[in-house]
Every structure is written in structure tokens, then in C-alpha cells.
Amino acid sequence: MPIYSGDYMKKIIILVISIILFYMLLGHVSSYVIPADAIRVRVIANSNSDYDQEIKNKVKSNLQYKMYDLLKNTKGIEEAREVINDNLSSIDDIVTSTLKKYELDHQINYGLNYFPSKEYKGVVYDEGYYESLVITIGAGKGDNWWCVLFPPLCLLEATDATSVEYTSYVKELMDKYL
């Protein structure tokens, strides 16, 4: 077994500690704050059963298409608010027609709504009250789906466009090799 000099071992230890510290700091940097001038959308399932989660996803998909059509040409947050407020009844119609065959009721609330902290793809989204459109299906006891409605980040999915994903190249390399 080869014997390494003290200087070589010190360099190895410093390198390992540096990598660990860098990786730990990178984890703290991945907190993301939704801008104050954003509007979120959230669909809360009746329960966590596979059946109810599937229904939530149908509501989500139909809602995404509707919201894309409504907001695709908006130029700012004030215009987006106006469009949402002016179309709450048609948004309700989409949700009602989606849920009709499942005989589930729902509630729609547009305003300041509470969002718990959420980690998604390594990014932590802070808890708090956010301007949002919230659709609660049935008892609203299940997992939810949410995204940023304006600016229309989640609406890109509805158009089959290239999806937006926030990543860190350095973190990916470290995950791959560590």
C-alpha cells in the first residue's frame, strides 16, 4: 500500500471539505421566491386516492388550456387580474363540466390564499399567502398541484411547448460524481 506525504493528504482533505461545503451551500441557494407580481393557480384534490388524484389531474389539464387561452396575450399583472376576475364564471364552468360525471362539488377562490412550503426538483418554494386562483375539489384533503399562472410559466405545458425547468449545472455534475 503506498504511503502518501502529509502535504498530499492535506490537499485531499481540503478538497473533500471544499466539495462538501460547496454542495451544502448549493443546497441553501436553491430556495426560490416567487416574485411579488405573480399569480399562482392551485388545484386541491378531494383525497389522496388514485381515483381522486386522477380527477385532480383532469381538472388541472382542462384548467391549463382555459387559462392559456385567457392569458396568452396579457401584457402585465393588472391585465391578468382583470382577465381572471372577468372570467371566473367561465373558469367555474370548465371545472363544473369536468367534475360533473364524478359527482364532486368544488370551490373556487381568487385572492390571497395560503400555500405550504414545497420542494420540487431541488427548488424550495416558501410558504405564505399568495395571490392565487385556488380550486378545491370535494373535501380538499388530498395532495395538490400548483404553478405560476402569471407570468404564464405553467401554461407552457398546455401548449405542448418546451417545458421550463430550473436547474443548476454544477449541482447536476456534483450529483453525478459524488
Instruction: Give the mean pLDDT of 153-173.
Output: 46
pLDDT at 84: 96
Rounded average pLDDT over 52-80: 93
Residues 46-61, mean pLDDT to the nearest whole number: 96
Average pLDDT in the 28-36 region?
56
Q: How large is the average pLDDT for residues 153-165?
A: 47
DSSP-based three-state secondary structure for 158: helix
Identify the helix (H) or strand (E) that includes residue 124.
strand 123-125
pLDDT > 80? residue 177: no
pLDDT band at 116 (very low <50, low <70, confident <90, very high): confident
Cell numbers 378531494 correspond to 46
Three-state secondary structure call for residue 58 = helix
Sequence spans of domains, the chain: 6-31, 34-158
Phi and psi at residue 115, in whole multiples of 5°? -125, 130
Phi and psi for 174 in degrees, rounded to 5?
-65, -40
Which helix H or strand E contains 98, and what residues bound it?
Answer: helix 88-99
Q: How long is the chain?
A: 178
Residue 121 falls in which region: left (phi positive, over 0), alpha (psi -120 to 50) or beta: left
Indicate whether 31 pLDDT > 50. no
Res. 101: pLDDT tops 80: yes
Long-range CB pairs of 161-166, under 8 A, 24+ apart, other chains included: 165/121, 166/32, 166/121, 166/123
Give the mean pLDDT of the chain: 80
pLDDT at 157 over 60: no
Query: Cα(first)–Cα(last) distance of the chain, in Å?
Result: 25
Residue 49 has pLDDT above 90, yes or no: yes
Instruction: Determine if the pTM surpasses 0.85.
Output: no
Closest to 154 in 3D by CA, of 137, 141, 166: 166
Is residue 43 packed enough to be buried (19+ CB in 10 Å), middle (13-18) or exposed (0-12)? buried
User: Could you give the C-alpha distances from 71 to 34, 135, 173, 176, in angstroms and in order?
Assistant: 19, 18, 37, 39
